[in-house]
């Protein structure tokens, strides 16, 4: 008699992530709502300071990362059909542990955030014409920022789920925790522009990402039970 083996937690997390991405593709909230608002936020500063090109070039990448952080929080805390009690009950009946569900949700969010960053980058370049001397580091920074912010946002969303005013409390939790990602992103580009290898700030980002993912995975069961 052949017994079917249960899928590994990694495969379960991948299936959850795939389902989340399908839901996002059908809804298009990030592509059609959050991304245009992020582009408008980037447009406000040039309208305020005028055609001062040196000033705009100096502000460009800093504004980009601020918008990525603030609007990225909205991406991580967005509500989808997967947040319903029925969907959660179905995943539990399927034997998918809380850690795998949290990891899948965070992985899908990281992909969406990376797309969000990629869509905003050309807007930033067109409006600000920033110095991209350290641009070779941009793919690494964008990946680390999206992965770290996804973990922090998923954890915060689980913590405030079901609380009155949770939609307001979530950003308050995420933004301070994500500051090392923001500082690391800006400082890595500055160091690279001067020809230095930004190991220290790269380590800051990697450490923040690792702490965020460890906290998400280790507390998934406890957070779900408390919710």
**Distance, CA of 49 to CA of 80 (rounded, Å):** 38
In-domain check, residue 1: no
Q: Does pLDDT of 167 surpass 80? A: no
In-domain check, residue 3: no
Q: Does pLDDT of 104 surpass 60? A: yes
In-domain check, residue 138: yes
Q: Does pLDDT of 83 surpass 70? A: no
* Residue pair 134/187 in contact by the 8 Å Cβ criterion: no
Q: What is the pTM of this model?
A: 0.90
Counting Cα atoms < 13 Å in the Cβ hemisphere of 6 gives: 8
pLDDT band at 1 (very low <50, low <70, confident <90, very high): very low
**Distance, CA of 149 to CA of 140 (rounded, Å):** 14
Query: What is the per-residue pLDDT for 132?
Result: 87
Query: What is the per-residue pLDDT for 2?
Result: 41
In-domain check, residue 4: no
Domain boundaries, position 63: 9-226
Number of folded domains in the chain? 1
Q: How many CB atoms lie within 10 A of CB 102?
A: 25
Among residues of the chain, what percentage have pLDDT more than 90?
48
Q: Does pLDDT of 144 surpass 70? A: yes
Position with higher pLDDT, 99 vs 87: 99
């Amino acid at each position: 008699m052949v017994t079917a083996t249960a899928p590994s937690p990694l495969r379960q997390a991948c299936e959850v992530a795939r389902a989340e991405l399908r839901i996002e593709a059908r809804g298009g909230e990030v592509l059609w709502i959050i991304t245009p608002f992020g582009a408008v936020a980037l447009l406000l500063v040039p309208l305020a300071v005028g055609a001062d090109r040196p000033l705009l070039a100096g502000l460009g990448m800093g504004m980009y990362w601020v918008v990525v952080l603030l609007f990225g929080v909205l991406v991580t805390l967005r509500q989808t059909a997967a947040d319903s009690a029925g969907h959660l009950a179905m995943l539990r009946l399927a034997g998918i542990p809380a850690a795998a569900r949290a990891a899948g949700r965070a992985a899908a969010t990281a992909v969406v955030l990376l797309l969000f960053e990629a869509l905003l980058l050309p807007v930033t370049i067109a409006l600000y014409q920033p110095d991209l001397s350290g641009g070779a580091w941009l793919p690494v920074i964008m990946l680390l920022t999206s992965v770290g912010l996804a973990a922090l946002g998923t954890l915060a969303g689980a913590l405030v789920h079901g609380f009155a005013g949770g939609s307001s409390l979530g950003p308050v939790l995420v933004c301070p925790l994500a500051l090392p990602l923001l500082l690391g992103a800006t400082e890595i580009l500055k160091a690279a522009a001067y020809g230095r290898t930004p190991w220290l700030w790269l380590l800051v980002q990697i450490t923040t990402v690792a702490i965020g993912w460890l906290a998400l995975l280790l507390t998934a069961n406890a957070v779900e039970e408390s919710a």
